[in-house]
Structure 1
Amino acid sequence: MSYADRLFKETCRDILENGTDTRGEKVRPRWEDTGEFAYTIKKFGVVNRYDLRREFPALTLRRIALKSAMDEILWIYQKKSNNIHDLNSHIWDQWADESGSIGTCYGDVIRRKFLYKGEETDQMDYVLRQLRENPYSRRIMTNMYQYEYLHSGALDPCCYSMTYNVTKTEEGLVLNAVLNQRSQDMLAANGWNVAQYAILLMMVAQVNHMIPGELVHIIADAHIYDRHVPVIRELLTREEHPAPKVWLNPEVTDFYAFTTADLHVEDYETGEQIKNIPIAV
């Protein structure tokens, strides 16, 4: 059965049974329809590990739109865009201005130029170059949490950094990564974020002739919103299915050439989709 399902259930049970309830505290999020405060049950410092050599970490308890998840990753790290008109889903619409911009966050931060050894580059180009030229470096990362840009961004980044690390094995070089996330809505975002950053790891590994290895997901504040608790409890009772087979078009050798058409998914059996999940803003 899907390992991602197992970790999701373990994490949610731990939050429900051992977490801290924020009810009564001064919290920022509110429910969009009523304006009431959106309280959570939360756990600090959740760490989950996924080995992509074993299986792709897709939830089967409910379906994750894997191509849409990849599309958002391409929007941030490949197109380096902060405009929703470059994105094929509507997940960012409520944070965009009249021109479609979400301000100085996400792709806008990734594309900002800086000098590295006298040459101008951006964060993603730096990662790709370092993996080619200096794969054993312990300094290969992207970081979107840049304080100087937070005031003019629509939302502080939730998944904010990826640190890449290469290990040598008999099969070849293995690319691992640590995904740091300051805050995660377990129902709405956990399966989505894990899948999309697994895809990012696969893309970066492929164009550097490496094997995608471990994705270590560190969540500072893993939480379940009050309105989501009944849905989570129902998900915990659902049957688990085997993980799907997920791979990329092997002919793509340039990170900037990937499209969602290059993502292939087979045997993705899931439980019923959950529609109209209320989102706190």
Structure 2
Amino acid sequence: MSYADQVFIHMCRDIIDNGTSTEGEKVRPVWEDGTPAYTVKKFGVVNRYDLSKEFPALTLRRTAIKSCTDELLWIWQRKSNNIHDLHSHIWDSWADENGSIGKAYGYQMQVKHQYKEGMMDQVDRVIYDLKHNPYSRRIMTNMYVHQDLHEMGLYPCAYSMTFNVTKEKDSNRLTLNGILNQRSQDVLTANNWNVCQYAVLLHMLAQVCDMQVGELVHVIADAHIYDRHIPMVEELIAREPLPAPGFWLNPEVKDFYDFTPEDVKLIDYQTHEQIKNIPVAI
């Protein structure tokens, strides 16, 4: 059975059974009808996925791999903060009349800084260091820039990636690992979406830097299930996990900026039916 399913089931069961409720407290999110959106939450959830063994897509329901890859590339490759450059509509609620989400996400990834090696943005710096100084302990990105927070449509949720390279004893190739730091996560709507996105990112960076992929560690400060989502989550985690899918990344692509969503596929991806009409708190 899929290891990602096991992780998800355990996490959700722990949140529902052992988490703390925000009911009655002052909370920012509301439902579409204006009702406060309360949550049951756990602090400091840490999940690990060994990408060398399987790709961590849920089989309990389908994760749209091309759509989540498109959003990842919107941020990391196109470095855009405008929803008109994105093919889905998940960011529409946070955009202004021109489609901008402000100085958030992709905006932060395209800001260039002066290094001794030249001007680079965060993504280019990561790729440069992975190729030229892979054992550096300083290979990371950060979108949570305090001076710009007041100009962001939404503060970054998944805000930082730290990359770390290891060398396995029985291998002649380096292994790329990563830690995704997330301040907050709506577990039902976004957990596996983010996991799959950053698993794809590690696969892409490993390929263009001639490495093999290793572990993705996902650290969530506030992992929560909204009150109106609890029955849906109970239904989801009662399902029987299916075998994990295979993963294909176009081996012909050697430049990170050449990847498209069409270069990513899940093979033999069997899933249960989708959970539909999920309300989203804003």
TM range, normalised to the smaller chain?
over 0.9
Offset at 1:247?
1.7
Cα deviation 1:250-274 (Å, max 9, x = unaligned): 0100000000111122110001111
Aligned partner of 2:242 in structure 1 is 241
Cα deviation 1:139-172 (Å, max 9, x = unaligned): 0001000001110010001000000000012221
> Which SS does the other structure have where 1:17 is aligned?
helix
Offset at 1:118?
6.1
Cα deviation 1:164-216 (Å, max 9, x = unaligned): 00001222100000000000111000010000110011101100000011000
Q: Distance in 1 between the 2:44 and 2:93 partners?
A: 29
> Which SS does the other structure have where 1:204 is aligned?
helix
- Say if 2:121 is the partner of 1:122: yes
Structure 2 matches for 1:257-272, cutoff 5 A?
257-272=258-273
- Say if 2:164 is the partner of 1:165: yes
Aligned partner of 1:211 in structure 2 is 212
Offset at 1:245?
0.6
Q: Which amino acid aligns with 2:104?
A: C
Offset at 1:117?
1.9
Q: Distance in 1 between the 2:107 and 2:47 partners?
A: 28
> Which SS does the other structure have where 2:230 is aligned?
helix
Aligned partner of 2:178 in structure 1 is 177
Structure 2 segments unaligned to the other structure (5+ residues): none
> Which SS does the other structure have where 1:67 is aligned?
helix
Q: Distance in 2 between the 1:242 and 1:161 partners?
A: 30
Structure 2 matches for 1:136-175, cutoff 5 A?
136-169=135-168, 170-171=170-171, 172-175=173-176
Offset at 1:116?
1.4
Aligned partner of 2:76 in structure 1 is 77
Cα deviation 1:38-92 (Å, max 9, x = unaligned): 0000000000000000000000000000010000000000000001111111111
Offset at 1:119?
1.9
Output the TM-score relative to the length of structure 2: 0.98
Offset at 1:97?
1.1
What root-mean-square deviation, in Å, do the aligned CA atoms of Structure 1 and Structure 2 show? Answer: 0.7
Q: Which amino acid aligns with 1:184?
A: Q
- Contact 2:65/2:265, CA 8 A, preserved across alignment: no
Aligned partner of 2:6 in structure 1 is 6
- Say if 2:25 is the partner of 1:25: yes
Output the TM-score relative to the length of structure 1: 0.98
Identity %: 65
Q: Distance in 1 between the 2:47 and 2:77 partners?
A: 26
Q: Which amino acid aligns with 1:95?
A: W
Structure 1 segments unaligned to the other structure (5+ residues): none
Cα deviation 1:211-243 (Å, max 9, x = unaligned): 011000000000000000000111111111011
Structure 2 matches for 1:222-241, cutoff 5 A?
222-241=223-242
> Which SS does the other structure have where 2:124 is aligned?
helix
Q: Distance in 2 between the 1:152 and 1:117 partners?
A: 30
Q: Distance in 2 between the 1:186 and 1:177 partners?
A: 20
> Which SS does the other structure have where 1:151 is aligned?
helix
Aligned partner of 1:86 in structure 2 is 85
Q: Distance in 2 between the 1:21 and 1:95 partners?
A: 26
Aligned partner of 2:131 in structure 1 is 132
Offset at 1:16?
0.7
- Contact 2:109/2:143, CA 8 A, preserved across alignment: yes
- Contact 2:165/2:175, CA 8 A, preserved across alignment: yes
- Contact 2:83/2:100, CA 8 A, preserved across alignment: yes
Q: Distance in 2 between the 1:156 and 1:212 partners?
A: 29
Q: How many residues align?
A: 280
Q: Distance in 2 between the 1:205 and 1:6 partners?
A: 26
Q: Distance in 1 between the 2:134 and 2:10 partners?
A: 34
Offset at 1:15?
0.4
Cα deviation 1:86-135 (Å, max 9, x = unaligned): 11111111111111111100000010111112621100000000001100
Q: Distance in 2 between the 1:276 and 1:103 partners?
A: 28
Moved over 6 A (4+): none
